[in-house]
Structure formats: structure tokens, C-alpha cells
Amino acid sequence: MGFFFTVLYVIIIFVRPQEFVEAMHAWPILDVMAAFSISAVFLEGGFTADTWKRSPLNALMLWFWIALILSHLTSANFWGTRLAFFSFATVEIVYFLIIFSVNTFKRLKIFTWALVLMGFFLAVQSIWQSYTGVGLVGGTALQRGELLQARGIGIFQDPNDLALNIVCFLPFVLPHFHKYFLSRTWITGVLLLLPMATGVMYTRSRGGILGMAVVFWYYFRRRVGLVLSIGVLLFMASLILTLPRFGSTNVDDASTRTRMEHWASGLAFFKQHPLFGLGFEQFTEHHYQTAHNSFVLVLAEAGFVGAFFWIALFLQGFRELFRLGKLPHAPPWLEPQLSGLTGALIGWLVCGFFLSQTYKFTSYILLALVVATLNVLHNEGYTVSHPWSGRMTVITLAATVGAVVFMHIMLRLLWGMV
């Protein structure tokens, strides 16, 4: 039952019935589902030390949570400390429910199918709204001049957020993954792929469409090699430039300039509070909009400490995937699984560069699937261990400093800011 409630919990996060079913508006449905899921996994004996120790990602998730709490605690802001604790607790709960309950290949396959269908649902919502002006479950399209942008409801009400959450599940329906992991034929994958790609296009999200292009490039690079895949990427780039909102994009474009101003403000906040930041969810208390960049947001709100652990999560996630790819005598499902997860995380990072998605569910669900893959391999008799090391600490420190320097140089050279 623990796995069933975990899957149902994740589905409700994406479908959000409490926001379009009038009778459920006042229901704390996510809190109730969290309680049911935790109780079921606990009573089944799912919480084990062995699972906890299987990947450093689990400890890094807790350290990142602590960094968010410290962003307020160090300034004696106890209301903010409480906010950081309870707000990010929902993400932590989802992450740990996945790693403790998704522990067999069958469950991994079912859970992946659930995510794919959620991406498909969001895509259908986008397409339907583009033609009717109103979504399947509510919400109206965003009118930007003569351009109509599809968007979802709740945490997906921004077109860019909707696009990101479709892009992240696209790699799981590409033929190489779908045929060898989810289905015995590539046809079902293509039938899902076409509306999902169309749904991204109808959001008119530049970051989302760019992220989708990179996901396709990653797929073709593995299938046809680097040189041909670059040709495919250039071809896609030429098509993208013909789309609405892309043809007029340049460094002096008003929308682009405004976004750079948000990034510059975030870096200025980091200079003022370099160690622990302004405090969790305090960016908009000091600036009229959010950072529109996931890294800049965590840097400004949680300082270098929070940014270190956030980057460490992704570095360790890719490290796990890379090392699993070298596992000898691996089961046939592993290679497409690693490919799908790598593509999904790459897509998230590309989209997240233009969005404030630092504390949202999707990236942590993908990282939890990395650990779930380790759990499945362990239960199938494969001993896998990739412990954290001093070398990884140095690499993460260098990557965090490098990211800060990169953002400063980019803003200074291209826009004369910072």
C-alpha cells in the first residue's frame, strides 16, 4: 500500500484536483495524502538504514534542507525558519517516499509510467487551452499581445513552468527508452511524444522550447554520434528562430533585459549575504519579481552554503548515472533507464536556467528515481556503492565558485550589469 499511496500522492501533485473541483477547494488533500503515504511505507517496514546509506543523495537532500533553514535561523528569523522547515518538508517527503517505496523493477516501471502520463496530461491541457482558451481542468491562456500562451493551474500556472514539466518527461517517451523500458513497441512512445512536443510548443516558452531542443539533441547524439547530432541541433535552432517570440530575441529585447536585471539583483543580494543568503523565499520581499534562474535564486536566498548543496545534488546525480553506465553484466533495462534520467535532468537544467524552480518537486523526483534505480539493482543482486569523497567536495566547491563567476562575467560582458 505504501507504493500505491506514493504514486497517488505524486499524481495529485500534478493533476491538482483541489484547485479545479469546487467541493475540494478547502481540502488539505496533499497533507492527507502525505500522512497516508508515510504511514503506509512505515508500517510496511520500508524505512531501512540500508536504503538510506545506498546513495549520498539522501544525505545531501537533508543537508540542503538544513541550509534553507539556516538561511533564516542565522539571522534569528524564527518565523522564516518555520517557513523553510515546513515548505520544503513536502519536497523532502516526496523524495524519501520514492526512494523507500520504489524498490522493484515492476514498481520502477509503474512509477515511470505515472510520470509520463502526468506529462501527457499537462501537454493535453496545453493543447486544449490553445484552441479553446480554457484548460481541461480550468485556467485560461495567457494573452501576450497577439500571442496566446498555454498554461496550467496551481504550480503550473506560468507557461514556462508548464513547459518545463512536460520537457522533463519527454526523454521517457523517446523510442530508445520507451521500447526497451516501458513498452515492447516504439509506437506507443511516439503516440505520446507528438502531443507532448506540441504541448511544449503551445506554451510559447522560449526556455521550454530550448530545453526540448537540447533533449532531442542528447537523444540524437547517442543514436547518430556527435557530428550528426550537432547538425540536427543547428537545424532545430533554425526552426526555433522562426517561432513567435524567438525571432525578436536579442540582448536588448525588453523581456530579456528585464530577466537580466533579476539575475543582477540576485547576485547583488548574494554579495550582501554571501554565506547564508537573504533567507528562504525572501527574494520577492526585496525585489519586485523572482530571480527567473534556479541557481541565482538559491544563491541569493540560501547563500554559498545552500548553493553548494544544491549543486552537489545534481553533480552526485549525474555521477551515479555515469558510474551505473559502467556496471558490468547489467540488466538490459538499465541502459535506457540511465539515458532517460540523464536526458530528463539535462532538460530540467536547461529550462531551470531561465526559471525559479529551485524548490519545486520535479527535479527532486528525478533525483529520487536515480536512487530508486540503485535500490532495484541492489534487490536484483547487483552491489552498487558510490560514496561521497573529499574529491567530490572539492569538485562541488569549484563548480559553485565557477557558476558564480560565470553569471558575473556573462552579465558584465553581455549587458554591462553587476
pLDDT in tens, 296-333: 999 999 999 999 999 999 999 999 999 998 888 889 88
**Other residues' Cβ atoms within 10 Å of the Cβ of residue 288:** 8
Average pLDDT over residues 59-82: 91
- Interval 176-191: pLDDT, tens: 777 777 777 777 878 8
Task: Tell me the β-bridge partners of 404.
Answer: none
CA distance 215 to 238: 16
Q: Is pLDDT of 62 > 90?
A: yes
Mean pLDDT across the stretch 231-241?
Answer: 63
The contacts of residue 361 (CB under 8 Å, 6+ apart) are: 13, 90, 91, 94, 155
- The answer on pLDDT for 414 being more than 80 is no
Lowest mean pLDDT among 63-77, 230-244, 343-357, 370-384: 230-244
Q: Is the pLDDT of residue 417 over 60?
A: no
Computed from CA positions of residues 121, 126, 127, 128, in that sequence, does the dihedral angle turn out positive or negative? Answer: positive
pLDDT at 93: 93
Chain-wide mean pLDDT for the chain? 86
In this predicted structure, the answer to whether residue 339 has a pLDDT above a threshold of 60 is: yes
3-state helix, strand, coil in the chain (%, to 5): 70, 0, 25
The stretches of 44-185 forming alpha helices (DSSP H) are 49-53, 56-73, 78-101, 105-132, 159-167, 175-177
